[in-house]
Amino acid sequence: MSVSTAGDVNGDGYSDVIVGQDAYSTYTGRAFIYFGGPVMDNNADVTMTGNSIFDSFGCSVSIAGDVNGDGYSDVIVGAYGEFIYNNYTGRAHIFFGGPAMDNIPDVTMSGETVGGRYGWIVSTAGDVNGDGYSDVIVGADQYSSAGVGHMFI
């Protein structure tokens, strides 16, 4: 399970919360966004679900910043168990915020190493290259056969 601020994904002036539940439905995983406001409830406003069993979608969640420059906060969700072309490499998904935010990933990044667990940890990096857009960090804690992890920006 993971939790983070989501920033203000829907532009209503209140901070929102994202919660990851990677063990949902045989580790398919889910992530939930709860919109902030004067009175919050326990009903998720956006529910995102992994693609298949053992994806561990939601193992890590974070605000991504505003990666597409539209003025809304975006979120990033790790899924270290996702298979790509029958290889267990992992993925990280970015979901763009907005007034009609949906549960379909807008950007998907895939790991490079079989068993590398790309998406084990995700976070915003701020604007590291000065281009005016927020950048993200994605970790793969088993990147090499020796168990050495790597971080990707």
Give me the residue label for tokens 């793969």.
140
Per-residue pLDDT, 63: 98
pTM of the model as a whole: 0.92
Measured between alpha carbons, how far is 149 from 133 in angstroms, rounded to an integer?
Answer: 26
CATH of the domain at 54: 2.130.10.130
Strands 30-34 and 46-49: antiparallel
User: pLDDT-based confidence at 150, cuts 50/70/90?
Assistant: low
Measured between alpha carbons, how far is 2 from 134 in angstroms, rounded to an integer?
Answer: 21
Span 56-83, average pLDDT = 95
Measured between alpha carbons, how far is 8 from 20 in angstroms, rounded to an integer?
Answer: 17
pLDDT (tens digit, 9 = 90+) per residue, 84-97? Answer: 666 778 999 999 99
Q: Most confidently modeled of 76-80, 142-146, 147-151?
A: 76-80
143 pLDDT more than 90: no
The domain total for the chain is 1
Per-residue pLDDT, 145: 66
Q: Which domain holds residue 148?
A: 2-152
Report the candidate in 83, 69, 89, 91 with the shortest Cα–Cα distance to residue 138.
91
